[in-house]
Chain A
Amino acid sequence: MAPSAGRRSALLGLGGALLAAAAPAEQPTQIAPGVFVLPGVHEDASPTNGNAIANVGFIVGGASVAVVDPGGSLAHGQRLRRAVEAATPLPIRHLVLTHAHPDHVMGAAAFADLRPEVIGHARLPEALAQRREGYLRMLEREMGPAAAGSDALPPTRLVEDRFDLDLGGGRALSIAAHGPAHTDADLSLFDSATSTLWLSDLLFVERIPSLDGSLSGWMRALAALRDCPAARAVPGHGPPAVPWPTAGMALAGYLEALREGTRAAIASGLGIAEAPARVATTEAARWRLAESYHGRNVSTAYRELEWE
């Protein structure tokens, strides 16, 4: 199944314009002044896409640049770094890791020599300690030799609740740490200068959400974020920018259906082995990659809700 080594390196080494339609974007989209998003593709990690499957990007301040999620692989991180360097001469001083998932953090190695401040949720070190090794193995399995050199960086600043990140020139990002939601270590950012709410994987659009934290916690977090006076949001998967809060409604609907369906399954004595094929399948069918993630979401929801 895997392409030959030669073909693989050729694909990874070429510019985006020469690649097939499925290839990840080479150029970032400026969604608001100084706010850049490099959009990911709706696929799982492969040698061809270099695990560039999540929306990552950067925010340019008056004195420095903050990278928001360094990418899913060394190559993805390097591509993001080139995009920053093409957009501004200002130094990259901060890496924000919005959560521990590999498609968001494994490109950090591309920024290691800059010795940036690495900002993460207070629970991020524990999450990385438990998962990083498995994620590295998974990348190697899915991407082959193209995974080499990919890795996260240890957080140097932990956010318990809120933290204001000053990028100079009057631009400050308000970073919020959430309770267990998409994962148990989610951060969101609000750029008041452009009224942009960077939600990363707290918001999925088009691609089916993956639940890896707390279903009820995610629903609560979304409800609270709905009141945020943002003009636009950046989803972790989906278009680079979407209108807020309307673009969160599909996600809220899916999570609600997942919760109600799973609660009903538990109440009726339907087992965890049978529930995935029976719960919220209509709602799931509206999303990309549902066949890969919905069953797992049901299983995760089941394990949470049976202890309610």
Chain B
Amino acid sequence: MVRPLARRPLLAGALSLPWLAPAIGRAQGIEPAETPRRAERWRDLKEAIFDGRPTEPAGDALTLVAPTRALDAAAVPISLSLSADAAPRVRAIHLVIDENPSPVAAVFRAGPAGDLRALSARVRVDAYTWMHAVAEFGDGRLLETAQFVKAAGGCSAPVGTDLRAARERMGRMRMALPEGPPTGPERAVPVQIAVSHPNTSGLQIDQLSRLNIPAEFVRALRVLYRGAEVLRVECDISIAENPTFGFALAGEAGGELRVEAEDNRDRRFASAWTVGASG
């Protein structure tokens, strides 16, 4: 029932893990008997993603929050935060959903004008799974943390409910400042951005309908404030329909916030907003 891993796009084009295919073909329950397999899977994934570089437990430096039981496996809200001490030194955070067909859900990279202290995303969860976050420091150190997510029935709704509507407004973007515009370089405020996009995974030809749904997903997203890069996100089909991300923005109000996105078909989308001085 489970498609071979190698058939699905992996985040990094060159990264291919065909030897993992038998592992995910096994039952995906939460029985204790599964524990060694899950541990082995994470070891294999780490080896492939980080070239065998060692990781250490993150402790308080990096926190991953996800619902222990997902209400909507097609859009599981997750958040990542760094301690004040770690934030200026972390270059990238890798989000990995171990049991997904394409495990590397996103890589967040800090731009010169931003940091990764508070991030959020909505992801698809295909089966009961460990979710891992790994923070990569400027000196190459890797800190990892994890949470187990139950998403029963997740694969029953892996795609959007009204794909046609999502396609029709493809590329439209939204931006929200729940706490208002930033008030200076020292005080960051949360920003949420979203790109309307079906973000479909693509399927093999279905034996029943003979239909082939092509893969269409956002693969990169870039945020700039006052012309300087704040954040880059590399992502793929584990990100939910209408990719939605949150991050923290510091700086003087009144500048232009620009979001650029690009999908696997080389379509490019961009929007810009002037972040008001006082609402």
Contact = CB atoms under 8 A, between A and B. Distances in A.
B262 interface: no
B164 A131 contact: no
A302 B245 CA distance: 15
A140 B208 contact: no
Contact of B155 (A123, A138, A212, A271): A138
A102 B156 contact: yes
B71 A131 contact: no
A306 to B, nearest CB: 7
Contacts of B242: 303, 307
Interface residues of B, number: 43
B208 A128 contact: yes
Contact of A212 (B67, B161, B200, B212): B161
A154 B1 contact: no
A304 B242 CA distance: 10
A11 B71 CA distance: 31
Contacts of A128: 206, 208-209
Contacts of A272: 75, 77, 122
Interface string B101-144: 00000000000000000001010000000000000000000000
Interface of A: 102, 123, 125-126, 128-138, 140-141, 151-154, 180, 183-184, 211-214, 217, 269, 271-273, 276, 295-296, 298-300, 303-304, 306-307
26 contacts: A126-B211, A129-B206, A129-B209, A129-B213, A130-B158, A132-B206, A132-B209, A133-B155, A134-B155, A134-B157, A135-B156, A137-B2, A138-B153, A151-B208, A154-B209, A180-B161, A211-B161, A214-B161, A271-B178, A272-B75, A272-B77, A273-B77, A300-B72, A303-B75, A304-B161, A307-B172
Interchain residue pairs A-B with the least CB separation, the first 10:
A134-B155, A269-B178, A299-B72, A273-B77, A129-B206, A295-B71, A129-B211, A125-B209, A129-B209, A180-B162
Interface of B: 1-2, 29, 67, 71-72, 75, 77, 79, 120, 122, 152-153, 155-159, 161-165, 169, 172, 174, 176, 178-179, 194, 196, 200, 203, 206, 208-213, 240-242
